[in-house]
Amino acid sequence: MKHELTVISLSILALVLVIPASLSAHHGNASMDTTKQITVTGTVTEWVWANPHCWLKMDVTDDKGEVVHWVMEENAPSTLVGFGFTRQSFKPGDKATVTMIVAKSGAPAGRPSKILVNGKTYSVYEGGAQDR
């Protein structure tokens, strides 16, 4: 009986230590500058529909004429579906305009607040997908 209580106690202790660590691993917008929002227009190169987050990748020509490869992190597919997003929302070659908060590091990365592509606006913040 004493051995069983020790095993149970150690199991509970392990859970208490592991659960908070896994919860803190999800950083949210910690790496983003939530005070700075920009809009870029470019060509979609890939739309990754996967858990735990979807990713929109696009090539954007900057002010110097250089192509910059942007990566934008979206929510999980289970969340996006409720806002009108699908696995087919964006295809390579689509022209898109994205408004987003950007990475604090200055890397070409962000979290979109609005995506306009093929006459449709996608947003988890502005009521979902809408035809324009």
The span from the CA of 115 to the CA of 75, in Å, is 13
- The yes or no reply on domain 32-131 and CATH 2.40.50.1010 is yes
**pLDDT by residue, tens only, the chain of 132 residues:** 565 655 455 445 444 444 444 444 445 667 888 888 999 999 999 999 999 999 999 999 999 999 999 999 999 999 999 999 999 999 999 999 999 999 999 999 999 999 999 999 999 887 666 665
Q: Are 101 and 56 in contact (CB under 8 A)?
A: no
H/E stretch holding 12? helix 2-24
Please give the model's pTM, rounded to 2 decimal places: 0.75
The span from the CA of 1 to the CA of 102, in Å, is 56
Q: What one-letter code names the amino acid at 61?
A: T
Question: What residues does each domain of the chain span?
Answer: 32-131
For position 15, what pLDDT does the model report? 42
